[in-house]
Amino acid sequence: MRYLLRRLLVLLLTGWTALTINFVLPRLMPGNPAEVMLARFQGKLNPTALAALTIEFGLHTHQSLLAQYAAYWGHMLTGDFGLSLTYYPSSVGQMLAQAFPWTLGLVGFSTVLAFAAGTALGVMAAWRRGSRLDGVLMPVSLFLNSMPYFWFALLILYVFAFVLGWFPVSGGMSLTHHVAGWAGWLSLIQHAALPAATITVTAMGGWILTMRNNMVAVLGEDFVKFARAKGLPDRWVEYRYAARNAILPNFTGFAMALGFVVGGALLTEIVFSYPGLGYLLYEAVLNLDYPLMQAIFLFIALAVLIANFLADVAYVLLDPRVRTEGNP
């Protein structure tokens, strides 16, 4: 329990930090670029919306910083992220709600797949240490792990969508279909196939490497030797004894890996014009749409935080040593 409470504290602190970064950033930068952005929209936005934005970004206000901070929290807690300048008159909240399911589906699916496949391959490589599989898998996963996501995305987009024409070039699904019905689902899967493949392949390398190292370390432990000496079948020792213990550190490593994968997924979405948060963020960056940009950062940060917390909970359920920590 103590472990989970600590993690919860980190979760809350990180959430607070993300929110505060959003507040501080526009006020910290010399020659506030938000001013330039607002100047561009003078006359296009209605005056009330403009006034609200001016306050949000700390321009021309007579309020103290503390009062601004309090007002900012009020907006955030009521889910009021302001208006998107790019997609005016849509609000930032509406744009987020539209894009989020796409990213959640794509990243969620690919991450789980990459984790499962990478872990399985890592176990195999460690078990057959020194074999040809191990020899090939290591440099290959290092290379996969070092590829820029967006570059790999561009290459498979070119080969499988342009040259071979097997998959659609861009978008989330074809406009003639609705999600309901087989044709709609098929279109959805066709559009997601290449982005999902990009994320899975590039994210897998890291999992293979960490899992192999964990597994090699566990294989040197006495309890594995004992299990072998007892004459247990190899498969039994490999999975029930070694892999089960080797997988535990991967759950704590999930935090760092997830942040990295999400970053890569954002770039992948941009390459495929996939209608998720990454593409939206790209549009926001191009148009200097700071309200949208900041809200997307916040949203991604919170989603990653929650996913991390779930990984921590899973860790506690899987490893009894954490549960009894402090009260033996």
Partner 1 sequence: MSLRMLLRNRRALIGAAIFAFFLLLALLAPVLAPYSPTDINFPPMLGPSPRHLLGTTANGQDVLSQLIWGARPTLVVGLVTASITTALGLVVGVFGGYVGGWVDEILSTVTNVFLVMPGLPLMIIVAAYITVKGITPIIFVVAVTGWAWGARVLRSQALTLRHQAFVEAAQMSGESRWRIVLTHIVPNMLGIIVANFFGAALYAVLSEAGLEFLGLGNVNTVTWGTMLYWAENDEALLMGLWQWMVLPGLCIALLGTAFGLLNFAVDQVVNPRLRRT
165 sits near partner 1 (criterion: CB under 8 A): no
Least distance from partner 1 to the Cβ atom of residue 64, Å: 22
* Closer of 41 and 184 to partner 1 (Cβ): 41
164 sits near partner 1 (criterion: CB under 8 A): no
* Closer of 34 and 227 to partner 1 (Cβ): 34
Distance CA(114)–CA(207), nearest Å, equals 8
Q: How many residues does the chain have?
A: 328
Q: What is the DSSP string of 100-124?
A: HHHHHHHHHHHHHHHHHHHHHHHHH
Q: How many residues bind partner 1 (CB under 8 A)?
A: 65
Which of 316, 289, 302 has its CA nearest to residue 104? 302
* Closer of 149 and 173 to partner 1 (Cβ): 149
Fill in the per-residue mask, 257 to 276: x = in contact with partner 1 (CB under 8 A), - = not in contact: -xxx-xxx-xx--xx-----
Give the CA dihedral 213, 219, 220, 222, nearest 10 degrees.
Answer: 150
* Closer of 83 and 293 to partner 1 (Cβ): 293
278 to 297, contacts with partner 1 by CB under 8 A?
Answer: 281-282, 285-286, 288, 290, 293-294, 296-297
138 sits near partner 1 (criterion: CB under 8 A): yes
Binds partner 1 (CB under 8 A): choice among 40, 101, 151, 325: 151
Least distance from partner 1 to the Cβ atom of residue 256, Å: 6
* Closer of 143 and 185 to partner 1 (Cβ): 143
Fill in the per-residue mask, 4 to 33: x = in contact with partner 1 (CB under 8 A), - = not in contact: -----xxx-xx--xx--xx--xx--xxx-x
- Structure tokens belonging to residue 45: 């936005």
* Closer of 150 and 173 to partner 1 (Cβ): 150
- Find the distance separating the first CA and the last CA of the chain, reported in whole Å: 13
For residue 83, give the 3-state DSSP assignment.
Answer: strand
148 sits near partner 1 (criterion: CB under 8 A): yes
Per-residue CA distances from 203 to 142, 248, 254, 292 (Å) = 11, 18, 12, 27
Distance CA(152)–CA(256), nearest Å, equals 21
Fill in the per-residue mask, 37 to 76: x = in contact with partner 1 (CB under 8 A), - = not in contact: ----------------------------------------
Which of 205, 211, 215, 213 has its CA nearest to residue 141? 205
Distance CA(250)–CA(259), nearest Å, equals 14
| Residue 131 DSSP label | S
In a 10 Å sphere around its CB, with 0-12 CB exposed, 13-18 middle and 19+ buried, how is residue 181 labelled? exposed
Omega cis (within 30) before 320: no
Q: Could you tell me which residues are beta bridge partners of residue 91?
A: 83
143 sits near partner 1 (criterion: CB under 8 A): yes
- Structure tokens belonging to residue 305: 């935080």
* Closer of 164 and 286 to partner 1 (Cβ): 286
* Closer of 173 and 304 to partner 1 (Cβ): 304
* Closer of 36 and 317 to partner 1 (Cβ): 36
Residues that bind partner 1 (CB under 8 A): 9-11, 13-14, 17-18, 21-22, 25-26, 29-31, 33, 129-130, 138-139, 142-143, 145-152, 154-155, 158, 162, 209, 213, 216-217, 220, 255-256, 258-260, 262-264, 266-267, 270-271, 281-282, 285-286, 288, 290, 293-294, 296-297, 300-301, 304-305, 308
